Structure 1
Amino acid sequence: MQRPTPFFILLFLQLWAVGLALNQEGRDLLQAKLGLYDPHNALADWNPNSSTPCNWTGVTCSTVSGGNLAVTDVDLTGLDLSGPFPASLCRLPNLSFLSLSLNYINSTLLDSSISPCSALTHLDLSQNLFVGSLPSALSSLPLLEYLDVAGNNFTGAIPPSFALFPSLQILSLTANLLNETIPPFLGNISTLRQLNLSYNPFAAGQIPSSLANLTNLETLWLAGCALVGQIPPSLGHLANLINLDLSSNSLTGIIPDTFSGLASVVQIELYNNSLTGNFPAGVSNLTALRRFDAAMNFLSGPIPDDVFSIPLLDSLHLYQNKFNGSLPATAGKARQLLELRIFGNNLSGPLPSDLGANSPLVSLDLSDNQLTGEISNGICQGGALQEILLINNFFSGRLPESLAQCQSLTRIRLSNNQLSGEVPAGIWGLPRVWILELTGNSLSGSISPNIAGAANLSNLLIARNKFSGNIPAAIGSLLKLYEFSAWDNHLTGPLPESIGLLPELGQLNLQNNSLSGGLLTNIQSWRKLTQLNLADNHFSGEISPELGNLPVLNYLDLSGNSLTGSIPIQLQNLKLNQFNLSNNLLSGPIPPLFHNEAYKSSFLGNPNLCRDLTGLCRSSSDNGHGHGKLFWPLRAIFFVSAMVLIAGVVLFYWKYRNIKRGKKTMDKSKWILTSFHKLGFSEYEILNSLDEDNVIGSGGSGKVYKVVLGNNEAVAVKKLWKTKLTVNGGGGNQDDAAYDAFESEVETLGKIRHRSIVKLWCCCSHRDCKLLVYEYMPNGSLGDLLHSSKAGLLDWPTRFKIALDAAEGLCYLHHDCVPPIVHRDVKSNNILLDADFGAKVSDFGVAKIIDGIGGGPQSMSVIAGSCGYIAPEYAYTLRVNEKSDIYSFGVVILELVTGKRPVSPEFGEKDLVNWVCSTIQQKDEESVIDSKLDACYREEITKVLHVGLHCTSNLPINRPSMRRVVKMLLEVCAENKPSPLSKDGKLSPYYHEEDQGSAS
Structure 2
Amino acid sequence: MRLSLILALFLLSLRATTLSLNQDGLYLLQAKRGLSDPTGALSSWNPRDPDPCGWAGVSCGGPDRRQVTSLDLSDSQLAGPFPLFLCRLPYLSSLSLFNNNINTSLPPDVSACRNLTRLDLGQNLLEGAIPGSLAAIPGLAELDLSYNSFSGEVPPAFGAFARLESLSLVSNLLNGTMPSFLGNVTSLKKLVLAYNPWTPSEFPSQFINLTNLEVLWLADCRLVGPIPESLGSLPRLGNLDLSLNRLTGPIPSSLAWLKSAWQIELYNNSLSGGLTLEFSNLTSLRRFDVSTNQLTGAIPGDLCDLPLSSLNLFENRFEGSLPESIALSENLYELKLFNNKLTGSLPSDLGKNSPLQSLDVSYNQFSGEIPENLCAHGQLVDLVLINNNFSKTIPASLGKCESLYRIRLKHNQLSGTVPEGLWGLPHAYLLDLSENSLVGNVSDALSGARNLSVLDISRNLFSGLVPDGFAPLTSLVEFSGSHNNFSGPIPGSLVELRRLSKLDLSNNGLSGEIPEGIKAWNMLNELNLANNKLSSEIPSEIGSLLVLNYLDLSGNYFSGKIPYELQNLKLNLLNLSNNQLSGDLPPMYAKQVYKNSFLGNPGLCGDLPGLCPGRSDGRRKAKSLWMLTVIFALAALVLVVGISWFYCKYKNFKKTRKVATMSKWRSFHKLGFSELEIAGCLKEDNVIGSGGSGKVYKVELSNGEVVAVKKLRGVTKKEALTFESEKDGYQVEVETLGKIRHKNIVRLWCCCNTGDCKLLVYEYMPNGSLGDVLHGSKGSLLDWRTRYKIALDAAEGLSYLHHDCVPPIVHRDVKSNNILLDGEFGAKVADFGVAKIVRVGNGEEQMSVIAGSYGYIAPEYAYTLRVNEKSDTYSFGVVILELVTGRPPVDPAFGERDLVKWVGATLNQNGIDNVIDPKLDASHREEITKVLDVGLLCTHSLPISRPSMRKVVKLLQEAGSGSNKTRIAKRDGKLSPYYYYEDDASTKINHASEDPVRSMKEQGSK
SS of 1:415's partner is coil
Aligned equivalents of 2:811 and 2:794: distance in 1?
Answer: 20
Match in the other structure for 1:161: 157
5+ residue gaps, structure 1: 1-9, 619-631, 651-680, 699-703, 706-779, 808-842, 850-858, 865-872, 905-910, 917-927, 931-936, 953-960, 971-988
794 and 458 in structure 1: CA distance in 2 versus 1, 3 angstrom threshold: same
* Residue of structure 2 in register with 1:32 after alignment: 31
Let me know the Cα RMSD of the aligned residues. 4.5
Distance 1:896 1:537 in 2: 43
Where 1:609 maps in the other structure, the secondary structure is: strand
* 1:254 pairs with 2:250: yes
Q: CA deviation at 1:102?
A: 2.5
| Structure 1 residue 460: Cα displacement | 0.6
1:344 aligned onto 2:269 = no
Match of 1:727 in 2: none
Q: How many residues align?
A: 748
Question: 1:339/1:93 Cα in 2 relative to 1: closer, same or farther (>3 Å)?
Answer: same
The answer to whether 1:542 aligns with 2:537 is yes
TM-score, with length taken from structure 2: 0.67
Q: CA deviation at 1:131?
A: 2.2
Partner SS for 1:423: coil
Name the residue aligned to 1:305: 301
Equivalent position of 1:208 in the other structure: 204
Instruction: Quote how far apart the aligned CAs of 1:418 are.
Output: 0.3
Alignment partner, residue 97 of structure 2? 100
- 1:150 is the counterpart of 2:146: yes
Instruction: Supply the distance in 2 between the matched residues of 1:167 and 1:121 (Cα, whole angstroms).
Output: 9
Structure 1 residue aligned with 2:935: none
Letter in 1 for 2:48: N
Q: In the alignment, what sits opposite 1:330?
A: 325
Deviation at 1:969, TM superposition (A): 11
Query: Is the 8 Å Cα contact of residues 558 and 580 (structure 1) preserved in structure 2?
Result: yes
Amino acid across the alignment from 2:616: A
Matching residue's letter, 1:25: D
* Cα distance, 1:885 vs structure 2: 10
Assess if the C-alpha contact under 8 Å between 2:433 and 2:457 holds in 1.
Answer: yes
2:50 equivalent in structure 1: 51
Could you tell me which amino acid in structure 2 is paired with residue 306 of structure 1?
Answer: D
Looking at structure 2, the residues matched to 915 and 89 of structure 1 have their Cα atoms a distance apart, in angstroms, of 39
Match of 2:795 in 1: 883
Equivalent of residue 636 in structure 1, options 606, 616, 630: 616
Q: How does 1:224-243 map onto structure 2 within 5 Å?
A: 224-243=220-239
Q: Identify the residue that residue 429 of structure 2 maps to in structure 1.
A: 434
Change (3 A) 1:174 1:393: same
**Which residue in the other structure is 1:798 paired with?**
723
**Is the contact made by 2:797 and 2:828 (CA closer than 8 Å) also made in structure 1?**
no
The structure 2 residue matched to 1:490, chosen from 481, 485, 489, is 485
In 2, the alpha carbon distance for the partners of 1:323 and 1:789 equals 62
Q: Cα offset for 1:887?
A: 9.3
Q: Provide the rounded CA distance (Å) in 2 between the counterparts of 1:415 and 1:367.
A: 9
Matched-pair contact (CA < 8 Å) for 1:108–1:132: yes
The equivalent position to 1:598 in structure 2, one of 590, 593, 598, is 593
* 1:127 aligned partner: 123
Aligned pair in 2 of structure 1 residues 213, 965: CA closer, same or farther (>3 Å)? farther
- Distance across 1 between alignment mates of 2:530 and 2:575: 9
Cα distance change of structure 1 residues 381 and 880 upon mapping to structure 2, 3 Å threshold = closer
CA distance in 1, matches of 2:164, 2:280: 34
Q: Could you tell me how far 1:177 is from its partner in structure 2? A: 2.6
Deviation at 1:17, TM superposition (A): 1.9
Task: Compute the displacement of 1:613 (Å).
Answer: 8.3
* Counterpart Cα distance in 2 of 1:903 and 1:70: 53
8 Å CA contact retained: 2:98, 2:121: yes
Quote the offset at 1:945 in angstroms.
Answer: 12
Tell whether 2:415 aligns with 1:416: no
The one-character-per-residue Cα deviations of 1:297-344 (angstroms, maximum 9, x if unpaired) are 111111011111112x11111111111111111111111111111111
In 2 relative to 1, CA 81–885 (structure 1 residues): closer, same or farther, beyond 3 Å?
closer
Query: Aligned equivalents of 2:819 and 2:333: distance in 1?
Result: 52
Structure 1 segment 699-718 matched on structure 2, within 5 A:
none
Per-residue CA distance 1:624-649 (angstroms, 9 max, x = gap): xxxxxxxx95x637668x76xx98xx
Query: Which stretch shows the higher mean deviation, 206-215 or 376-385?
Result: 206-215
Task: Say whether the 8 Å CA contact 1:179–1:203 is kept in structure 2.
Answer: yes
Letter in 2 for 1:92: L
**CA 1:203–1:592 in 2, change beyond 3 Å: closer, same or farther?**
farther
The amino acid that maps onto 2:290 is A
CA, structure 1 residues 372+521, in 2 after alignment: closer, same or farther (shift >3 Å)? same
Distance 2:846 2:186 in 1: 42
- Measure, in 1, the Cα distance between the counterparts of 2:39 and 2:157: 38
1:181–1:885: structure 2 CA closer, same or farther, 3 Å change rule?
closer
Q: Alpha carbons of 1:270 and 1:964: their partners in 2 closer, same or farther (altered >3 Å)?
A: farther
Alignment CA distance shift 1:946-1:847 (3 Å): farther
The answer on 1:109 being equivalent to 2:106 is: yes
1:780-819 equivalence runs, <5 A: 781=692, 787-795=712-720, 798=723
Deviations 1:877-930 (A, max 9, x none): 443697399599999x99999xxx9999xxxxxx999999xxxxxxxxxxx999
Identical residues among aligned pairs (%): 45
For the 8 Å contact 1:285–1:310, the answer to whether it is kept is: no
SS for the counterpart of 2:469 is helix
1: CA distance, partners of 2:81 / 2:363 = 53
Superimposed CA distance per residue, residues 446-484 of structure 1 (whole angstroms, 9 cap, x where no aligned partner) = 111111111111111111100111111112221111111
TM-score, normalised by the number of residues in structure 1: 0.68
CA contact under 8 A between 2:591 and 2:607: conserved in structure 1?
no
Alpha-carbon distance, 1:847 to partner:
12
Q: Take 2:46 and 2:617, find their aligned partners in 1: how far apart are those partners?
A: 96
1:694 aligns with 2:639: yes
- Specify the SS of the correspondent of 1:515: strand
Distance 2:576 2:719 in 1: 46
Quickly say closer, same or farther: Cα 1:617–1:584, change in 2 above 3 A. closer
Residue 67 of structure 2 corresponds to residue 70 of structure 1: yes
- Closer, same or farther: CA 782–452 of 1 in aligned 2, 3 Å: farther
| Counterpart Cα distance in 2 of 1:786 and 1:796 | 22
Q: Contact 1:863/1:878 (CA < 8 Å) preserved in 2?
A: no
Q: Determine helix, strand or coil for the equivalent of 1:520.
A: coil
Equivalent position of 1:42 in the other structure: 41
Give the whole-Å Cα distance in 1 for the aligned partners of 2:387 and 2:119: 51
2:867 is aligned with 1:966: yes
Q: Choose 1 or 2 for highest CA Rg.
A: 1
> Residues 953-995 of structure 1: CA distance to partner in whole angstroms, max 9, x if unpaired?
xxxxxxxx9999923799xxxxxxxxxxxxxxxxxx9899996
Q: CA deviation at 1:186?
A: 1.8
Whole-Å separation in 2 of the counterparts to 1:946 and 1:505: 25
Q: Name the CA distance, whole Å, in 2 between partners of 1:593 and 1:20.
A: 82
Deviations 1:786-818 (A, max 9, x none): 9444533222762657999xx9xxxxxxxxxxx
Separation of aligned partners in 2, 1:787 and 1:280:
60
Contact 2:838 2:845 in 1 (8 A): no
Aligned residue type for 2:24: E
Contact 1:967 1:990 (C-alpha < 8 Å) held by counterparts = no
Distance 1:964 1:331, change over 3 A: farther
Cα distance change of structure 1 residues 593 and 299 upon mapping to structure 2, 3 Å threshold: same
Find the aligned partners of 1:244 and 1:458 in 2 and give their Cα distance. 39
Greater shift after overlay, 537-546 or 873-882?
A: 873-882
> What residue identity is the alignment partner of 2:146?
A
The answer to whether 1:284 aligns with 2:272 is: no
Contact 2:320 2:342 in 1 (8 A): yes
Residue 410 of structure 1 and its aligned partner are, at CA, apart by 0.8
The one of the two structures with greater contact order (alpha-carbon pairs below 8 A, sep at least 6) is: 2
- Quote the Cα distance in structure 2 between the aligned partners of 1:23 and 1:796: 52
Q: State the AA in 1 paired with 2:364.
A: N
Task: Give yes or no for contact 2:251–2:277 (8 Å, CA) kept in 1.
Answer: no
Deviations 1:536-594, CA, capped at 9 Å, x for gaps:
11111111111111121111111111111111111111111111111111111111111
Aligned counterpart, 1:87: 84
SS at match of 2:59: strand
Structure 1 CA distance for aligned equivalents of residues 716 and 43 of structure 2: 40
Task: Tell me the distance in 2 between the aligned counterparts of 1:501 and 1:894.
Answer: 34
Which piece of structure 1 moves more, 356-365 or 280-289? 280-289
Q: 1:286 to 1:224 in 2, by over 3 A?
A: same
